[in-house]
Amino acid sequence: MENAKTGMKAKRMREEIIRYTVLFIICLIVLFPIYWMVITSFKTQGELFHSTQTFFPQQFTLQYYLDPVDGVLTAGSPFLGFFFNSMIVASASTVICLVVGSLAAYSLARFEMRINKNDRLSFAILTARMLPPIVVIVPMYLIMQQLGLLNTYWAMLIVYTGFNLPFVVWMMKAFFQEIPKDLEESAMVDGDSRMKAFYKIVLPLVAPGLVATSIFTIILTWNEFLFAMFLLNSADMMTLPPGIATFITQYETNWGSLTAAATLAVVPVVIFSFIVQKHLVKGMTLGAVKG
Amino acid sequence: MEQRQETVEVEKQKNWTNKHRKKTLFSNKHLLPYWLILPTLLILAVLTIFPLGYSIYVSFQDFNTYGQPDGFTGSNYAEVVTSMTFWNSMGVTLLYTFGVVAFEMILGLFMALMVSKDTKVMGYLRWVLIIPMMLSPLVVGIIFRLMLNADMGIINYMLQSIGLPAVNWLGTSGTAFLSIMMVDIWQWTPMCFLIILAGLQSLPQDPYEAARLDGASRLQILKDITLPLLKPIIIVALVIRTMDALRMFDQVFVLTQGGPGRATEVISFLMYRAALRFSDYGYATAGLFILLLVTIVLSYGMIKLLTRNEKAGES
């Protein structure tokens, strides 16, 4: 009996060791490419093309970041412009989507509506998100061309608002549904109007959800490439993804600048994702799965 | 004169009723949810339904060489379905989609089972495991372009250091296709992993205790309890990933530009070229519509097939 018990223990121990070894290898596979990008941006040109590759830069250099002529962080570099454009587009479309989408989400989460029987309307909104955006890309391009909006923030703002809105509605709906109804109902019994109860009681409670949703919207917008590629073609209006794509063809072999730009584009995303860790499931799966 | 006065009177009355109605519209409690959702519906109608309708119109338009619409035609669809390049792209897209989705689902399930325990370490591990899916696909493309480089890429360097020959990853058809798949699997397995993990954590515990009492082995538990219970979630993951894989664009753009030859020319890339390089908007839109059709049929088919089994099992 005693023997069997220790045998079991040993077996479990072995299993745990295997489990963590496998997980360690998977983490290595996940992290190595990112690590490789980061250290490549700190290597000198000579080291990069040397016949023996180094896993840590022998001669740590900041030239691709800070070089007075073509460093990516040097004032007036195209990269800073792309970064700035991405920030404007991402934050503006996020604000619009959150304001408009939260109201809709609240409505769907709290009220019985005849048009929303069996959540029909919610699913219709979700379908809008599931449509491959590429199908509407050509008409969008032609429409923007006719409106004279190609190469403007407006075009990006309009397109990204359309994309992100269904996502925001679904995610915020899940967050609203987690807040007990009684809280606002008791406030309404005390004489507050529905909207006042919304501002006073519900909004503060749902604040973490708002933050998580907005970060996901920012990440989605930040990474979007296809539409930006179609709708922006002058370098001073480009967001980060198409901007960095122009680097590829411009300096085919200038891996230092390319990886430096890519590293800087990724840093905010990694930081933001760490902040919303707890809400990851809901965010990335559209709240379709109860996390 | 009298008549005119009468009409004025009627006008007034109309105005009054209008005003009255408006007032009730705004103040009526029952309409509040409709007012809240109206802006969203309007925006979605303008930004989704209208472009979709417009793209149907565009797909039936003949475009001249300057990219100007030149009259109604059905030839775009005919041109698409009779062109070999389109069917080549369709083949590449489907093969690619089935390949990556199968891999990602199995790997994702495997990973989710390994970190399903709720400990602090596991929490951070989960975050690490899903970093790839949050990176811009374009940046991921750049990273792999660097690593797969035939001359100075780290992957060939490692292969050579253990005595294997270097591979011209992006230079030959077969390896280019495999490379694109590899990048997709690296980036999107986390998505399957995350969805399945969420499913695992919401499973009821009772069946497991019963099975443990019966002395069922781990493999039996996985096969007879976990997988059947997970089925709805697996469908969700499967459908989401299939839809995304069918429209993949970014990696091909960065890594191969559809080449070598047309070995990695997925439909979205083919149509991107048709539209932006050759201003062949009608052709591109028609092709993308066929892609949409394939997407709908595939995802609907998957849902139907998998849920029908469920119903049969119940009865």
Q: Which ipTM was obtained for this model?
A: 0.83
**Contact assignment for A138 to B288 by CB distance below 8 Å:** yes
In a domain, A263, yes or no: yes
In a domain, A111, yes or no: yes
In a domain, A213, yes or no: yes
Mean pLDDT, rounded, for B80-85:
82
In a domain, B148, yes or no: yes
CA A134 to chain centre: 19
Fill in the DSSP letter of residue B121: H
With beta carbons under 8 A apart, name residues in chain A contacting B147.
Answer: 33, 36
Angle subtended by helix axes A137-147 and B50-59, to nearest 10:
100
The structural domain count of chain B equals 1
Please provide the distance, in angstroms rounded to a whole number, between the alpha carbons at the two ends of chain A.
41
Q: Are residues A84 and A197 in the same domain?
A: yes
Q: Are residues A243 and A100 in the same domain?
A: yes
In a domain, B198, yes or no: yes
- Interatomic CA distance for residues B225 and B108, integer angstroms: 18
Q: Rounded to 5 degrees, what angle do the CA atoms B83, B84, B89 make?
A: 105
Going A59 to A61 to A63 to A65, the CA torsion angle's sign is: positive
Q: Residue B197: pLDDT above 50?
A: yes
Q: Among the three residues A45, A66, A87, which one is the final residue of a domain in this structure?
A: A66
In a domain, A291, yes or no: no
Closest approach of B157 to chain A, Cα-based (Å): 7
Question: Which of A142, A154, A267 would best serve as a mutation to test chain B binding (most B beta carbons within 10 A)?
Answer: A142
Fill in the DSSP letter of residue A190: T
Q: Residue B1: pLDDT above 60?
A: no
Q: Residue A252: pLDDT above 70?
A: no
In a domain, B189, yes or no: yes
Q: Strand, coil or helix: what is B212?
A: helix
Q: Chain A within 8 Å of B199 (Cβ-Cβ)?
A: yes
Per-residue model confidence (pLDDT) at position B107: 93
Q: Among the three residues A42, A66, A90, which one is the final residue of a domain in this structure?
A: A66
Minimal Cβ distance to B275: which of A19, A108, A138: A138
Q: Residue B113: pLDDT above 70?
A: yes
Per-residue pLDDT tens for B172-183? 888 999 999 999
With beta carbons under 8 A apart, name residues in chain A contacting B126.
Answer: 280
In a domain, B290, yes or no: yes
Q: Are residues A111 and A160 in the same domain?
A: yes
Q: How many CB pairs under 8 A join A and B?
A: 237
With beta carbons under 8 A apart, name residues in chain A contacting B60.
Answer: none
In a domain, B41, yes or no: no
- Interatomic CA distance for residues B307 and B236, integer angstroms: 12
CA B275 to chain centre: 21
In a domain, A278, yes or no: yes
Per-residue pLDDT tens for B253-296? 888 887 787 888 888 888 888 887 777 788 888 888 888 888 88
Q: Are residues A82 and A166 in the same domain?
A: yes
- Residue A151 near residue A232 (C-beta atoms within 8 A): yes
Q: Among the three residues A30, A45, A66, which one is the final residue of a domain in this structure?
A: A66
With beta carbons under 8 A apart, name residues in chain B contacting A229.
Answer: 253, 272
Token representation of residue B38: 């109206």
Per-residue model confidence (pLDDT) at position A286: 57
- Residue with the bigger pLDDT between B19 and A123: it is A123
Per-residue model confidence (pLDDT) at position B52: 84
In a domain, A73, yes or no: no
Of A52-56, A126-130, B136-140, which gets the smallest average pLDDT? A126-130
Q: Are residues A49 and A111 in the same domain?
A: no
With beta carbons under 8 A apart, name residues in chain A contacting B41.
Answer: 104
Return the CATH number at B244: 1.10.3720.10
In a domain, B54, yes or no: no
- Interatomic CA distance for residues A29 and B187, integer angstroms: 11
In a domain, B155, yes or no: yes
In a domain, B246, yes or no: yes
Q: Are residues A60 and A164 in the same domain?
A: no
The structural domain count of chain A equals 2
Q: Are residues A40 and A132 in the same domain?
A: no
Return the closest-CA partner of residue A227 out of A146, A170, A164, A280.
Answer: A164
- Residue with the bigger pLDDT between B69 and A20: it is A20
Domain that residue B195 falls in: 91-314
Q: Are residues A61 and A89 in the same domain?
A: no
Q: Are residues A93 and A126 in the same domain?
A: yes
Closest approach of A69 to chain B, Cα-based (Å): 23
Return the CATH number at A239: 1.10.3720.10
Domain that residue A159 falls in: 78-284
In a domain, A110, yes or no: yes
Using a pLDDT cut of 70, give the percent of chain A over it: 90
